[in-house]
Every structure is written in C-alpha cells, then in structure tokens.
Amino acid sequence: MADRPKILVTQQVPEAAYPLLEAVGDVEANREEGVIWSADELLQRAPGHDYLYCLVTNTIDARLLEACAAATPRLKLVANMAVGYNNIDVAAATRLNIAITNTPGVLSDTTADLTFGLLMAIARRISEAERFLRAGKFTGWGPLLLCGADVHHATLGIIGMGRIGKLVAKRASGFDMKVLYHNTHRLPAEEEQRYNATYVSLEDLLRQSDFVCLQAPYKPETHHLIGEKELEMMKPSSFLINTARGPMVDEKALVQALQRGTIAGAGLDVFENEPAVEPELLSMENVVLLPHIGSASHQTRTRMATMASENIVAHASEQRPPNILNPEALV
C-alpha cells in the first residue's frame, strides 16, 4: 500500500478544512490561534511534505520552494487560502513543477460588502463618532456635530473592475452613485450598461471621483499605483478606499496627503508593510483602519478553507485541481 501523502497546514483555519485533508493524507497543522510561523520556521517544517496549505501571511519564496522540491517526498502543490497570490513565487514554483492554487470567486461578495461598509464608515465618520460617544463627549445633538459626506449621488471611481470591483459597482447603484472605472481592459458595452459604469483614464477617475476604491490585483505594475502624484490629482473632499493589497498605496505619501488636506480621508483594510501600519495613521481621526477583514465572515472563510482543501484533494486523487494557477507545472 502506498504511503499516504503528507500535508502541512501553516496556520489555524476553519475546522471544515481538516476532515477533507485527513481523508486523503496525514495532516500536520499549526492549530495555535493567532500563531504565524516565521519564514525560518516554515523553512524548517515544510520540506518533506507533499502538500502545503498556506495563507497570505506566509511568504512562499524561491528558497522555500527549492528546499521543498529537493526533499523526499518532494512538494507537489501549494494551496493558498486566498484569491491573491503575491505571497508566492509562482514563477519559481512552475520551474520546479510545483502546482499553485487559490480560492477565487467565493470571497467576492463578502469583500464587496466590507468595501462598501468601509466607504460608508469614512464618509459618515462612523468610527470617529463612536469614539466620541464612548469617550463621554456627547452632550446633546447639534446641527454641526460630526457632519460627514453624502454617499448617495456621489461619484465612485473603481480602479480594477474584476469580480469584486463589479460587485462594488452593483452596490453603488442602490445609492444612485455615478460609477467611473479604470481597468487594464475596457469591459464589453453590455457589462458597462449592467453596472452603469463609465470607462475613463486613471487621471480622469482620480480628478472626478468623490470616492476612489482600489480593487486591482497586486503585481509589479500596480506597486505604489497611488502615490504623491496621484493623490495630488484627487479632490480635497475625496476619500481613498483600499481593500485590495496594501503595497498598491505609497503609505508615506498617503500620510502626507492626509496631513496636508490634499484628500479628506481614507479607509484601509490592507497596509503596505502589513501587519505594521504607518504610526501617523493610527492617530488620525479622518482614517478608518481595519485589520485585513475583507473576507471575514464565517460563511466565506469556511468556504475558502474547504476550497483550498479541495484543491489538494483533487491533486491527491490524480485529478486536475479546480483552481490551478500554473497548469504547466502539473506533471
């Protein structure tokens, strides 16, 4: 009887993921809540496993992949419990015939919900107002108390009109917002009509939007997509929303723009050097900060977890993983 494959789960994940994995292999798992293995610890633990189940908090670089490819048994597949995969050196994995999978689609609606919630929170000063009340500062209603910005009929600019961007546009329709978008490729006319979205250049989007929402994938071309020059193009009354990836925004430039009043505020669920946050942001009232919870509903995280497991199960069963990113690595 052939040896059962060895599977390493790098961080605690929803319970539904484990039975699927245990049905096809021997599972070693980090089940300590909140514990994230360091790069060195991962390098020590991962080699000798057939499958690696990881999260965006794990850096799966060429050094780790090469060590895993040289070990016995050799690594066959990395299942990333996320839609984004900038934490993985996919090129190195492909060169080493290591398959990479992700969990697309399932988190789109949940992340769009959070995006719109963040937009509402910064526009209407919800977090600031709650802190004000909890601090005992609320002594009575006043006509100028914590006035914010209207969301209805405002102009929303979406950078990146993929799954999540389209769903954010769909939510904006309920607020009668004007939707502008910028994307690598223009959408077909019927999709533009469906989402009531108008294609514009990045520069026009920044200049015209009351809310600029980042939904593009992170890659070298989108690193610091929003920097000093782009922030200067935005309205002094506008807000920046980022629920995509932190390094798309030059955080130091953002701090300066907020301090100078170049823009009115920002809502951030992701950070350039996550989990570290620029210290100045922490003390700003015109910023809403969240700890990367875009997909954090029980239902969605459970589905993400089982989808990652299903990719491993498929490969272990000699089937094509449903969410393979580099099919050329399958041997």
- The answer to pTM > 0.75 is yes
- Residue 101: strand pairing partners: 79, 324
Q: Are 212 and 244 in contact (CB under 8 A)?
A: no
Q: Which amino acid is at 186?
A: R
Domain boundaries, the chain: 6-105+298-329, 108-289
Count of other CB atoms within 10 angstroms of residue 192: 17
pLDDT at 2: 63
> Which of these is catalytic: 22, 28, 192, 274?
274
pLDDT digits 0-9 by tens, 69-85: 999 999 999 999 999 89
Omega into 73 within 30° of 0, i.e. cis? yes
Which pLDDT band, with edges at 50, 70 and 90, does 125 fall under? very high
- Catalytic site residue 274? yes
| Coil vs helix vs strand at 69 | helix
| Coil vs helix vs strand at 172 | helix
Can you list the positions of beta strands (E) in 249-315? 265-268, 287-289
Q: Are 82 and 102 in contact (CB under 8 A)?
A: yes
pLDDT digits 0-9 by tens, 267-309: 999 999 999 999 999 999 999 999 999 999 999 999 999 999 9
- 108-289 matches 6-105+298-329 in CATH topology: yes
Q: Which amino acid is at 272?
A: E
Fold that domain 6-105+298-329 belongs to in CATH? Rossmann fold (3.40.50)
pLDDT at 254: 98
> Which of these is catalytic: 49, 125, 182, 245?
245
Which pLDDT band, with edges at 50, 70 and 90, does 3 fall under? confident
Count of other CB atoms within 10 angstroms of residue 177: 22
> Which of these is catalytic: 194, 207, 224, 292?
292
Helices 298-316, 108-123: inter-axial angle, 10-degree rounding: 150
pLDDT digits 0-9 by tens, 194-253: 999 999 999 999 999 999 999 999 999 999 999 999 999 999 999 999 999 999 999 999
Put the strands of the sheet holding 211-214 in their side by side order: 197-199, 178-182, 155-159, 211-214, 239-242, 265-268, 287-289
Largest CA distance in the chain: 77
Taking the C-alpha atoms of residue 256 and residue 158, their distance in angstroms, rounded to an integer, is: 23
- Catalytic site residue 194? no
Q: What is the mean pLDDT of residues 121-148?
A: 97
- Catalytic site residue 292? yes
Q: Is residue 1's pLDDT more than 60?
A: no
pLDDT digits 0-9 by tens, 7-25: 999 999 999 999 999 999 9
- Determine what percent of the chain falls in helix, strand and coil, rounding each to the nearest 5: 40, 15, 45
Q: Are 250 and 227 in contact (CB under 8 A)?
A: yes
Mean pLDDT of the chain: 96
Q: Does domain 108-289 have CATH number 3.30.310.50?
A: no
Nearest to 118 by CA among 159, 161, 171: 171
